[in-house]
Structure 1
Amino acid sequence: MRHMYLSSLLLALFATFSLPASAAPTAPAQPAVQAVVEQNVGKVDLNKASAAALQSELTGIGKAKAEAIVAYREAHGDFASVDELLEVKGIGKALLERNRDKLTVN
């Protein structure tokens, strides 16, 4: 009798621990590329944006500074990083920091 009681108790115990592990849903792995794309959603690409887009999307960037950014890009090639924006005349550290979260380079 004790042996049967102990066996049924062990069976119930094993069933309890195995059920949640097998019933747990598995989340599909997201590709790293998708995560990078999601990070850049809503950001202005310094290497592709027009002067009008730069002017409308960035804080403190008017027509003259937006055109200076495009002219710098055309003269020196694509921006290697957002920090290279400091090389453009009229763009200082404060202006860059104000817009850093809105900018990207691809």
Structure 2
Amino acid sequence: MFRKILVTAAMLAAFGHAYASVDVNTANEDALRGVKGIGPAKAKAILEERAAHGPFKDPADLGKRVKGMGGHTVERLQAEGLAVGPAGAAAGPQVAASSQNKGAAVAANTPKGGATVAVKK
């Protein structure tokens, strides 16, 4: 029983972390400042660059276009929850596709007549 509770808590923590990411291409100043390592000046610089030249394509693009944000800084900010570019936008469809595939696998393994069989371990 304790093991089930522990697994459930771990899954909830993982889902919470997934939803905590901040997309640099859509975030406002307050959201950017919510990422550990981004202060008021860096948030303002990101917003000004995005307004002047459009959305960031990828982490390397962010590092090149915003002064003071090199590769290591961008990597550290990504670890803190900053999402950059198409990878963050494509995560939603990937999750939906994997959910559909799991449903198809369950349907394929269901006996004829639609009854499911519970197996106790």
State the TM-score, normalizing by the size of structure 2: 0.49
Q: How many angstroms apart in 1 are the aligned matches of 2:31 and 2:38?
A: 10
Measured after TM superposition, the shift of residue 80 of structure 1 is 1.1
Query: Which structure's CA Rg is the greater one?
Result: 1
Measured after TM superposition, the shift of residue 76 of structure 1 is 0.6
- Mapped pair 1:52 → 2:30: yes
Aligned residue number for residue 54 of structure 2 = 77
Measured after TM superposition, the shift of residue 40 of structure 1 is 5.2
Q: How many angstroms apart in 1 are the aligned matches of 2:73 and 2:41?
A: 14
Percent identical pairs in the alignment equals 40
Measured after TM superposition, the shift of residue 60 of structure 1 is 1.8
- Mapped pair 1:42 → 2:27: no
- Comparing both chains, which one has the higher relative contact order based on Cα–Cα distances under 8 Å and sequence gaps of 6 or more? 1
Q: Which runs of 5+ in 1 are unaligned?
A: 1-37
Measured after TM superposition, the shift of residue 41 of structure 1 is 2.2
**What secondary structure is seen at the aligned counterpart in 2 of 1:91?**
coil
Q: Residues 8-64 of structure 1, C-alpha deviation per residue, up to 9 Å, x if partnerless?
A: xxxxxxxxxxxxxxxxxxxxxxxxxxxxxx99522111111011211122x221100
Aligned residue number for residue 67 of structure 2 = 89
Q: How many residues align?
A: 68
Q: Residues 41-92 of structure 1, C-alpha deviation per residue, up to 9 Å, x if partnerless?
A: 22111111011211122x2211001000000000110111122110201212
Question: Structure 1 stretch 96-105 or stretch 41-50: which is displaced more?
Answer: 96-105
- Mapped pair 1:103 → 2:82: yes
Over 3 Å counting, the alpha-carbon distance change for 1:39 and 1:81 in structure 2 is farther
Over 3 Å counting, the alpha-carbon distance change for 1:40 and 1:80 in structure 2 is farther
RMSD: 2.1
User: Letter of the aligned partner of 1:76 in structure 2?
Assistant: H
